[in-house]
Amino acid sequence: MPSHLSAVEKLAAKGTLNGGDILAKLLAESKPVFPEGAPAGYPEFSNAVYTNLHAAAVGSMTPEAAIAAMAAAANKLASGS
């Protein structure tokens, strides 16, 4: 799925993208989450969130443990250790 507005607009105009008109409108009004680029620790934090959410979703970890692990990752990154 393309994320560039012009590509989505082309697919929407051809009718080959289900809901493309809505997606094009959303993309036209969207703004970057990190206008100056993601913080240095973002990939590590993002990975911790994804990994722990997945573990909780499949039942290999409790939701409470997943939240605690995500918080630990955030605290580690925030403290610089």
Cβ atoms of 52 and 61 within 8 Å: the answer is: yes
pLDDT in tens, 20-47: 889 899 989 988 889 999 999 999 999 9
Q: Please check whether residue 37 lies inside any domain of the structure.
A: no
Same domain (yes/no): 26, 54: no
The token pair at 14 is 């051809």
Q: DSSP secondary-structure letter at 35?
A: T
Supply the pLDDT for residue 2: 75
Q: Please check whether residue 74 lies inside any domain of the structure.
A: yes
The token pair at 46 is 């993002």
| Residue 1 confidence (pLDDT) above 80 | no
Same domain (yes/no): 49, 71: yes
pLDDT in tens, 7-20: 989 998 998 988 98
40: Cβ contacts below 8 Å, ≥ 6 apart: none
pLDDT in tens, 45-64: 999 999 999 999 999 999 99
**Dihedral of alpha carbons 21, 24, 29, 31, sign:** positive
Structural domain range at position 54: 42-79
Q: Please check whether residue 9 lies inside any domain of the structure.
A: yes
